[in-house]
Amino acid sequence: MTVPPRKNVLLAPVTVTPTKPLTPSHLKGLLWTDVMFRATAPLAEVTYRYSHTTYHVTEQTVGFWEYLDRTHGEADYTQLSEEDIGDLYVRYRSEAPHQSADVLRPYRDAVEHSGWVHPASERMLRLWAGHYERLGMHDPGLREHQPPGLGLEEMIERLDAVGLVLDQRVCGGPVYLDLTRYGMPLRRIVTADGRPNYLACALRELLPLVPWYDEVVLLYDRELDADYQLLNRVLSRLGPTVRRVPIGRVPIDGRITSARHGGWHGHTAGALLRASADAGVDPGDDLGALRLGMRLYFIATLGPGQSQSFRHDLLRHCLTVAARLLNRSGATRATGTDASSAGATGTGDLFDALDRHRRGHTYVDPYRLACSLLGKGRPAPDPALLSAVFL
């Protein structure tokens, strides 16, 4: 078998700000990205870029930090749960007035120059790191200082050099991303008083990175599609093939709402992991079933859309199906140990098993791959595949 040259792939999923708990919608996106990363890695050189540092400077994060310091002083956040911190965030979004850029500037400077993280978000990231470990997800540097390659002014200058920015700061106005030549609307990226939004941060991070890659994959929730169409157009000018992968949110009781409005109690990552333990999927012999079952539910069962509400019973069913698949395959159920010790059939077979789910792009489609494990009459899953991608 002739293996084609390996391409360089950049996975750049939307980043969840550490201000609220991981909800089913967040888990879906994170598990989707994890499977894509681990399934594509045997076929290409893959970089998984996920920098909290880059997006800490957005108002939803530094504004929350300023609110906490103003209303709670020197509170001890080390013993709070993710739900406790999330409740504070919901309160902030419902009652706190927007602060000026001058008030928030010390927080942004602390992030930019020293990598400082507020104790509340540091606590949240520690909790998330535990969830990642339990779920077997690759940690792309949750608690690392990973500054973007461009400062805000450098990013604006680069856009200006190619005629893609409308900078009205000289007359007291904002900065716009200007793609009107392509029939796309102006999009404000920096307010008149200097506050960058999420898209500005994404441009700071990705503009210097993408020229080094053959393919760039942007994973994001469908509510952000307009911004990601703009981002796609800008990045495509720099040379790589850009793929947009929108992922639908997960309704709770038929409703899709932002985490800032609450409504996630009993459905957070921590709550779901605790419920799985109560259901008999403990962190011992059945950790593999937990990891595979979560992926079968959030990827194969829910799919890329957002029409199905979250259902505890279907999640428990997927955990049961996962345990059966692991028993049939002979794969190690606890941790997905080295594929060779689990009866791997060889590198070539794994390449073929993954390659068939690419469909003209370099990355592996998580939905098609996860669905390939299910269905009556299918052969037992290859333990090498389970170990490399799902456990």
> Using CA atoms, how far apart are residues 33 and 47, in angstroms rounded to an integer?
12
DSSP string of 122-148, one letter each residue:
HHHHHHHHHHHHHHT-----TTS----
pLDDT band at residue 297 using 50, 70 and 90 as cut-offs: very high
pLDDT, tens digit, 9 for 90 and up, residues 62-110: 999 999 999 998 899 999 999 999 999 999 988 867 788 899 999 999 9
Q: Could you tell me the domains of the chain?
A: 8-247 (3.40.50.620), 266-390 (no CATH)
Q: What is the pLDDT of residue 347?
A: 62
What average pLDDT score do residues 194-199 get? 94
For residues 350 and 42, the answer to whether their CB atoms sit within 8 Å is yes
pLDDT band at residue 332 using 50, 70 and 90 as cut-offs: low
Element (H, E) at 241: strand 241-247
Determine phi and psi for 187, rounding to 5 degrees. -135, 120
Q: Is pTM beyond 0.85 here?
A: yes
pLDDT, tens digit, 9 for 90 and up, residues 45-54: 999 999 999 9
What average pLDDT score do residues 300-323 get? 93
The mean predicted confidence, pLDDT, of the chain is 90
